[in-house]
Amino acid sequence: MEQPKLNKRYMAIEDHDYTRAVHAGMKIDESSGAVAPVIVTSTTFKQKAPGQHQGYDYSRADNPTREQLEVALGTLEHAAHGLAFASGLAAVHAVMGLLKSGDHVVAVDDVYGGTRRLFEKIWQPLGLHFHFLDLRDLHDFEHSLIEFQPKAVWLESPTNPTLRVIDLQGVARLTKKHNTLLVVDNTFATPMLQKPLRLGADIVLHSSTKYLSGHTDVVGGSVMTNDQGLYEKLKFIQFAAGAVPSPFDCYLLLRSLATLAIRMEKHCYNALAVAKYLESHPRVSSVLYPGLASHPQYQLAMTQMLGSSGMVSFYFDGTLEQLTTFFQSTHLFVLAESLGSTKSLMNHPAAMTHASVDSVVREKLGITDKLVRLSIGIEHPEDLKQDLNQAFEKACSGKNL
């Protein structure tokens, strides 16, 4: 089947980012001339004299393979510093370690369920105070800064799973005015489609497990910043707490980053095609995708993002029994946790990624039992639409829809 030609109508990745993705962090091994990153598995390193080493003494502190990855991560986010962690939540945990008991945090209410669980179940009992708010209205947001005087603001944009878009530049202007740390989880957009540091964020965070890896074979997290002071504090937390990725995981992520730009091109192309298909389907009551003109923050997304990424959510118009049949009837879409893979995945947030969120809160946020989250892969879009269509037909008793 002939592949569709890609164009700039749905995305506009910066030209140099294609080159950065391939070469960032890469260096030729001087001892062998190896072009691919060398996997340094050694946990310890010979010292010339006590306390005199060659840049590495113990792999929890620093490792040559991880160092290459961290350079690459910083380069892609146009950041002075990058840090790699063993998981996305380990990265979140490290950033929260910058705060102290009694501090307040304003977080977007539609945040990943695992992040919210970490905030409420781990950090809240230790004395942090969290305020989960809809941050799309900048006037209301500034009021929250005045009322709670938070030490940090935590954003996702687009959010998980309802794909709300937050005005990052507007939020950053207000956090700077009120001397508040701004942290942006950029997992859904990736550095190819959105650069929060340019828009005023202090820290950018990723679950590297998702698009940065892209192949559902690595668990990882990353933090990037331009602030030397923040970097030094986060570097100490990384070293002292020890939640670092293995050299082999760092190698896999480095290999994956080389194709990030071209993968995001295809994710964007396919997601728009699937979103348009779903928008016209009789068994779909509404579609959530920033690349559709029907999205409430469509204009903001078009100016803030270079593409709308590969995440599409929609509300199923039917019974829960029919929805269960739908989930069980796809051939290409895999019902599974996670996202950002070359393979298309689907998720039931209420029962899976956001099951830990209180049901009343879920309903208020629109994470209902009828919400479906799709992670659109890089297959041919017509094949994906056909797969969804036959699943809809099976779910609805084989009726011709």
Kindly list the catalytic residues.
60, 112, 185, 210
The strand pair at 181-185 and 81-85 is best described as unpaired
The β-bridge relationship of strands 311-316 and 284-288 is antiparallel
SS3 345: strand
User: Could you give the CA distance from residue 106 to residue 148 in angstroms, rounded to a whole number?
Assistant: 8
DSSP 119-155: IIIIITTTT-EEEEE--S-HHHHHHHHHHH--SEEEE
- Is residue 106 within 8 A of residue 145, CB to CB? The reply is yes
Q: How far apart are the first and last CA of the chain?
A: 25
What is the Cα–Cα distance from 219 to 207, expressed in whole angstroms?
8
Spatial separation of the C-alpha atoms in residues 6 and 116, rounded to whole Å? 37
Amino acid symbol at 300: L
Give the number of other CB atoms < 10 A from CB of residue 47. 12
**How far apart, in Å, are the Cα atoms of 197 and each of 75, 206, 218?**
12, 13, 25
Q: 21, 69, 75: which is closest to 258 by C-alpha?
A: 21
| CA separation for the pair 84, 223 (Å, rounded) | 7
- Cβ atoms within 10 Å of 6's Cβ, excluding its own: 13
User: Which residue blocks in 149-259 are alpha helix, DSSP H?
Assistant: 168-177, 190-193, 228-241, 247-257
Strands 152-156 and 181-185: parallel
Angle, helix 260-279 to helix 15-23, in steps of 10 degrees: 130
